[in-house]
Structure 1
Amino acid sequence: MRLLSFVAVFLFSFSLAEVGFAEENGSSVSEERLTPEELDYLVNEVGNTQEESEDLPVEVSRRLIEEEAQVIDSGSGFMVIYDPEVTKPGQISTFASIAATTLKLGGTVYKVKSDRSKDDKFYIYGNFQWLKTPSYTLVDKMTIGFPSSSGLYLPTSGGKVKQHQHRYSQDQQGNGRWIDYTIKYSPSNWEPSAGVAGSYDIRASTSKTKHKGYIGQYVYVPTSKNGKINIKITYGHRRIAGTPSVSVYPAGLSITPTTATDTRSYALTLSY
């Protein structure tokens, strides 16, 4: 009997570990929702629009509420990407088969309660959503970039950038049931005082499927500094095997445009 009890406990513990591992690697469906009071706070106190509040991941929303966040700038835009349709072996792709795929891209800059006495703290959030499944489902990237002259810096510990998260989710049937496939807590690329990047392995899907993701990064700036800068949110869509590369420009870290990578950008303004 004791042996059976031990086996039962072991199997139960193992199943919990498996669930935790799956959620960390993004194969889970979150049923958690914000309360009406939390949504109201995000709109009336934080400064999000109703749509922005409903689109934010629950854990991000609650962290922003806890940190007494205030919107500095936000917005989104619809952008067209022309993606050649995937053809069968031996079939030639004609110009007429190049279909417009719509990408919604945007972001928000929040000022949050700082945990460092001599620094102000901000949370930069960028998000994307494919409103039509792209023909090429490869590895895409998204960057948050800012000029090194701004004085903004990334939090680090143990040689790694901290206070970061990026996520990729998929609505397989287009019915609002989103599945998280990737949740990462370290950027795929980063440059000191220039920005961070996240990578998104876009999964194969049907014409009904929707795809979305976000990148979020906390940054600090000494309270002694003041100014106004642009934050550049850039999405890179790969059309040939491989992954988009990143480079540092005067405006900060961004996707390197090539013939194999389509890029779209959205600008935000941060005053500090």
Structure 2
Amino acid sequence: MKRILISALTVFLSLSLCFSAYAETTQTELKESERETLISDIGLDEEELEDMPPHILQALIDQGAKKIGSKTVTHKFDEGQSEMNKSLAKKKDEEDDFSEIELKAKAFEVKSDRSGYRKYYLYGKFEWSEPPIWTLTDKMSIGYPVTSKFFMPMTSRGKPDDHENRYCTKPAFKKKWECEDSSKASDWDPGIGVAAEYDLQMGNRQLHSGYISQYVYADKNERGTINIKFQYGHKIIGGSVSVSYRPVGLSLQPATTTQVADFGIEFKYPEL
């Protein structure tokens, strides 16, 4: 029995050491030469280097990316949108009715892996600076007009490829974020955009952040100036955030129990 316990303990410690090593390697800091490339060649600044996940930064280097557009905004959501909401939340101060979120968007042109086409990387991030009271299922979307003639790569099953979204959470008293990645879009249309959903975790002073990203292609002869619309839909009370499909771009629908923050970036293409 003693030998079994010792063996089990040995296996546990070995697995723990392996996991720790893996965690450390996945959080490896950028080399100075890589940071220089990201700043001087790709067009990012120091704040953006700290803000974006290392694996995305590495991919931008590998793909010879060039930043062609970016925007950062903050938005306040009214968590006590109605008297019923205020009663349910048992609020005492109207100032407490508001939560705040920081939203960021970026666009890059990258080296294309398809002959005759140009390739672009669209990235949107959210981080709650004042945690929401209602922790339901929110969504973030990237929408572009059908006239841009952008299109998404498809998997063999006919679903969006080269898509990634991440949701991270942590209690305010903890140092490390716990993150979950997905390659599945919640809503999409190949000609007008894509959306991802985030199941916000409950908790006292729980912090939330995440991102959505999508690669798109355009014919190499297509050129012009374009607006890309980014939106964050915050759900209050219950239900799910609805999506509309319009020629001007995929959009999140405001409703009595859905508040939507939207903003856009503008850029000329091609850049490379």
Which of these residues, 67, 72, 93, is aligned with residue 68 of structure 2? 72
Residue 95 (structure 1) shift: 6.7
Counting only pairs closer than 5 Å after superposition, residues 163-202 of structure 1 correspond to structure 2 as 163-173=162-172, 176-180=175-179, 182-202=180-200
CA offsets, 1:117-162, max 9 Å, x none? 1000000000010001100111000000000111100101221110
CA offsets, 1:56-100, max 9 Å, x none? 111111111100110001120111112139989977556726422
The CA distance in 2 between the partners of 1:206 and 1:193, in whole Å, is 41
The answer (yes or no) to whether the contact 2:27–2:54 under 8 Å persists in 1 is no
Which of these residues, 233, 244, 247, is aligned with residue 247 of structure 1? 244
> What is the TM-score normalised by the length of structure 1?
0.83
The CA distance in 2 between the partners of 1:142 and 1:245, in whole Å, is 11
Residue 39 (structure 1) shift: 2.5
Is 1:269 the counterpart of 2:259? The answer is no
Residue 33 (structure 1) shift: 3.0
CA offsets, 1:142-192, max 9 Å, x none? 000000111100101221110000000113235652210x21102111012
Is 1:237 the counterpart of 2:238? The answer is no
- Consecutive unaligned residues of structure 2, counting only runs of 5 or more, are none
Q: Secondary structure at the match of 1:213?
A: strand
Range 68-77 or range 250-259, more displaced = 250-259
Cα 1:175–1:217, aligned 2, differ >3 Å: closer, same or farther? same
Aligned to 1:55: 51
Counting only pairs closer than 5 Å after superposition, residues 107-186 of structure 1 correspond to structure 2 as 107-158=105-156, 159-173=158-172, 176-180=175-179, 182-186=180-184
* Matched residue type, 2:219: P
The CA distance in 1 between the partners of 2:131 and 2:89, in whole Å, is 21
Aligned to 2:209: 212
The CA distance in 2 between the partners of 1:91 and 1:56, in whole Å, is 34
Residue 51 (structure 1) shift: 1.2
Residue 226 (structure 1) shift: 1.3
Q: Tell me the number of residue pairs that the alignment of Structure 1 and Structure 2 aligns.
A: 253
> What is the TM-score normalised by the length of structure 2?
0.83
